[in-house]
Structure 1
Amino acid sequence: MRISDLRDREIVNLGDGKVLGHFDDLEINPDTGKIKALIVTGQNGFLGLMATGNDYIIPWERIKKIGHDVIIIDTRTE
């Protein structure tokens, strides 16, 4: 799978069904070369958390499924 394939998929939160948009960047572990997180550039009002325009970082462990059209994440805490 290519990064360009992932960029075309919308990110959807499993907890509330909200569409978060598309990711803008990746965080990669330099030692392992594995993806650590997807980064969505902050937008006003994004999940009620991004009023300041900060980036929203989605840890790889929060990704539950990469489907044909969407990336399903779970931001709920246990």
Structure 2
Amino acid sequence: MSSKDTPKYWFPAKRYGWGWGLPSAWQGWVVLLIYFVVVLGGIPFVHATSGTVVYVIYVFVLTAALIAICWLTGEAPRWRWGGDDA
């Protein structure tokens, strides 16, 4: 399979463990930057006005959205032991 046929993942799999590493495409970096801006931006708006419990729920929902984006645009998650296994 040539490199043209290989899909370009926004979030490649980590070498060790389960999940995704840092983004490998600019789109992934934009998603990650937006996530951090919205999480930190929620401190004065959500946390200050509604309290800690609502802010934790807010962060939980945003994190679930980030995981969904990683799942859809990243490599298939599975446990990896660090080899060159594909």
Considering only CA atoms, is the larger Rg found in Structure 1 or Structure 2? 2
In terms of fraction of residues, the more helix-rich structure is 2
Q: Which of the pair has the greater relative contact order for Cα pairs under 8 Å at 6+ separation?
A: 2
In terms of fraction of residues, the more strand-rich structure is 1
TM-score (norm 2): 0.24
